Structure 1
């Protein structure tokens, strides 16, 4: 995907400012947009006109108060009927892809086992699935694909290193772009999930936010004033955060966070205890739901370890809000009290009511991947739309998928 210009024009900056305030505060009249952005009314009118013509905004005359006196101030809001962003999340065992509208609503999603073999073959297989998936939405103009993955991500070059998959210096963004025809933006999966919170969750309400993720891998992302912190070489790692315990990590130490709380670790322990016949976390959860005391204890121990980790990180970074995500936290929802108790006993800072669970639930991975592209669209709407494939359907046609 070609790089977005680092120094956008005044016109592009103004368009992004109008989109940003409508996304946060909308629906808004043109006058209200001017008040929030500080732009002149002629500038607001021009930008709104361009964004309406593009299909990013539309007027909502039905929202004008009945009996309003004087010239009606017709509210403007995002047009969620035309454009959509595709997202692909590549996990260690599962790959998820989906489609979201401009308000972050997931329109549809699917999961497949992450293909084995070379990165080139795996991405070609994923691309074929995504092309077939998007053909079901012919009346949407897809602006591109947000690709999210664990491992070491080079956002600028679109390269991916993923030891768990055996991928090294893979030009993932370019391979997927060539196979689908869409511009592709690669990002780390935890950064993408944090971006989803910044755009459509807690982000607009707090000045600093710590996002904590746990499933087969663990990770965090920190944002300050709505901007994700990205250190040298991408995000940091909490995989080896020492939280205690006797689980042996591939690094040779014991008590590392990721090795202790990973789905596979819990499932392997359940097999060793004779609870389940194969190492599948879903079977462990089912056994716990059925009342197996040992299965419940394994999940409770993991929740406690996660709570300790969250407490340590909260003390180190001191954010206004901590948001938790990932199936290790959201799927066994009955274990959340164990996590929160461990957090409360670990943190030494005042106030323990700053922890929330992401509202995206099981759609987290697909929504986050889509949001990576939406974030790019909102920041650089004119540039990104120039890169998106053209379609021959008018902007205001029905958006129901074929066969729905």
Structure 2
């Protein structure tokens, strides 16, 4: 039986600080007395935690929200201070790397992207680190709590190791390499898990949620009681979910989901059909929008295959809500009805109207990568800020 490392149990002080922060994030500005009601903590304990969190810059008093005629400090509402700290996020995709900076509410302050570098993992991460350092210098007034690194492939978050066959990376100490190159704390996570976390923190996530992602790769994440389920080896894989069809997968089989619906598969099929001259999914979308029925049929077939997969997974896992993300689903949006029709005809469970599309939009990858650090900050606010103070000045 494999042993999986567990995060150390937080101290009572740390747990109380996280509880106070969670109540304010969830409910908005609250008086000290109201925080006590939401957390079950005594007023002296609440006051100590509020003072500590205000001292480090996570909370602030909202004097403009004091009820008229209120007397005494416990009635002054305490809100999240989103002007001091920010989290950086780096999403490494097969073809594109996106990086950004988000405030404590998950609002993306800035982002940029570059083609994912080729060559060795060490050289690629060093190049990305240089771009990120230059990017963060544009925000000298923000205190960066660390870097959330998100990627496809097989991720070992506890050890910071990344295996990514599509990039040729094997057992790469990605978190340590990026930490050494930037000086910031780095948290590595699978990109689909990071996107699901973003939904739980800032989107339409619900306590029991299936997050389904499709672009160049496909993946799912499952949340139970408001927290992501993490089994052996990190997240599960749906790359080889059999959905039918004759597309051959690198595994040797035909009809595997990822091989059938990936951007490159659709683009290469469009080249063979004479729709476009080179395998670029953007050209296929443009041809469909221009009225080419062959391009439209290729995109419709992909949406239908995705819908069948969503229906099968919904029936197997039976979540309260299904959230869809990734440009294969959201861009172009006019293919979404094809996906939803296929889903509705596949699912056998009642209440099929539990599916929604992510509200995080085209900045999904950058926002999701940032939330890896924000999630850790909200769970262990005082510890992570201690680590952030050790980062070098930019």
**TM-score category by the smaller chain?**
over 0.9
Residue 297 of structure 1 aligns with which residue? 297
Q: Which residues of 2 match residues 289-328 of structure 1 at below 5 A? A: 289-328=289-328
| Deviation sequence 1:321-351 (CA, Å, 0-9, x none) | 0000000011110011110000000000001
Q: 1:349 to 1:267 in 2, by over 3 A?
A: same
Q: C-alpha distance in 2, partners of 1:299/1:253?
A: 22
Residue 347 of structure 1 aligns with which residue? 347
Which runs of 5 or more structure 1 residues have no equivalent in the other structure?
394-404
Report how far residue 300 of structure 1 moved. 0.6
Q: C-alpha distance in 1, partners of 2:232/2:315?
A: 23
Residue 254 of structure 2 aligns with which residue? 254
Residue 216 of structure 2 aligns with which residue? 216
Residue 242 of structure 1 aligns with which residue? 242
In 1, are the aligned partners of 2:89 and 2:371 still within 8 Å (CA)? yes
Q: C-alpha distance in 2, partners of 1:75/1:4?
A: 36
Q: C-alpha distance in 1, partners of 2:78/2:268?
A: 54
| Deviation sequence 1:172-208 (CA, Å, 0-9, x none) | 00000000010000000000000001111123xx320
Is 1:152 equivalent to 2:118 in the alignment? no
Cα-Cα RMSD: 1.5
| Deviation sequence 1:238-276 (CA, Å, 0-9, x none) | 000011111111111111100010000000011111111
Residue 43 of structure 2 aligns with which residue? 41
TM-score by length of 2: 0.96
Residue 396 of structure 1 aligns with which residue? none
Q: 1:112 to 1:68 in 2, by over 3 A?
A: same
In 1, are the aligned partners of 2:208 and 2:225 still within 8 Å (CA)? yes
Report how far residue 5 of structure 1 moved. 5.9
| Deviation sequence 1:41-73 (CA, Å, 0-9, x none) | 0000110011011000111111224x3444472
TM-score by length of 1: 0.94
Is 1:106 equivalent to 2:108 in the alignment? yes
Q: Which residues of 2 match residues 65-104 of structure 1 at below 5 A? A: 65=67, 67-71=68-72, 73-104=75-106
Q: C-alpha distance in 1, partners of 2:84/2:6?
A: 22
Is 1:23 equivalent to 2:13 in the alignment? no
SS for the counterpart of 1:388 is: helix
Residue 388 of structure 2 aligns with which residue? 388
Residue 194 of structure 1 aligns with which residue? 196
